[in-house]
Amino acid sequence: MGELRLYAIGNGELRGMFGAAPEAAEQLRRFAAAALAPAGESHLSLRSRLGPIFRRVPATPVISPTQPEPRDLEVLLAGAYVLPERTGATWRLLETLVQGASWGSTRMPLDSQALDDLDFALARGGVSAAVGLRHLLSNSLSLPLLPVGGLTVGWHPYAKVLAMNEAYRSALDEIPTEEQRGMVDGLTRWLDHFGPWAQVAGSLGRPVPDLVGFCAA
């Protein structure tokens, strides 16, 4: 089953993670700590764990293409080129940073078909495709990072989030299934926080939150 993960964070804040200023970089390093493999620690190959008959090259290190390592973080923070073989790990790392820096997050259990079905149900209730979930994911963040299979990332600006919330709430009674109504109701309750978050943002020197979605197939 796929999953749509939504985060409240300014687009500029997210883009600023690439080539981050020193003070911001230190905070991002703290956010990243839980996701990183310890420095100098490698994943042992399956062969090295199966017994003597397979130990032609003991403890051969195998670097996972999706497990972030400290050097992946430093490449991202420096705004340097991400090698294609480290793209998957860097996307995973980036989402960890986004989660840490976001005002809040929510998750929706949606694969591609279920997402399209929900958008269709919302459209039947009068919701414009311009504030749909599929449109959210098709609005690219234009990050300096190659796409990876099975992951789609997009965003809606703050003003559109407010319009999205109002439209979804108005359509709630028209949504045909209880499961879909439950998802939309939960989403609108979460989107209600964007106004209060925006009011606080200025006093903290932060931009108003936008809506960023990571959809894993």
| Vertex 33 angle, CA 207 and 74, to 5° | 75
Return d(Cα 35, Cα 127) in angstroms, integer: 37
- State the pLDDT at residue 1: 74
In the DSSP assignment, the letter for residue 210 is E
Task: Determine the residue type at 124.
Answer: R
Cβ atoms of 33 and 100 closer than 8 Å: no
What are the angstrom distances between the C-alpha of 56 and each of 52, 62, 63, 94, 187? 8, 15, 19, 37, 54
Cβ count near 134 (within 10 Å): 17
Q: Residue 151's beta-bridge partner residues?
A: 216
- State the pLDDT at residue 58: 46
Mean pLDDT score, 62-86? 92
Cα dihedral across residues 183, 184, 189, 195: positive or negative: positive
**42: pLDDT confidence band, cut at 50, 70 and 90?**
very low
User: Would the pTM of this model clear 0.85, i.e. be above it?
Assistant: yes
**65: pLDDT confidence band, cut at 50, 70 and 90?**
confident
Residues making up the chain, counted from first to last: 217
Domain residue extents for the chain: 3-216
Query: DSSP 3-state assignment of 217?
Result: coil
- State the pLDDT at residue 62: 54
Strands 210-216 and 3-9: antiparallel
Q: Which of 43-47, 83-87, 179-183, 186-190 has the lowest average pLDDT?
A: 43-47
Burial tier of 149 (Cβ tally within 10 Å: 0-12, 13-18, 19+): exposed
Mean pLDDT score, 31-39? 77
Quote the mean pLDDT of the chain.
89
Residue carrying the six token digits 């234009």: 142
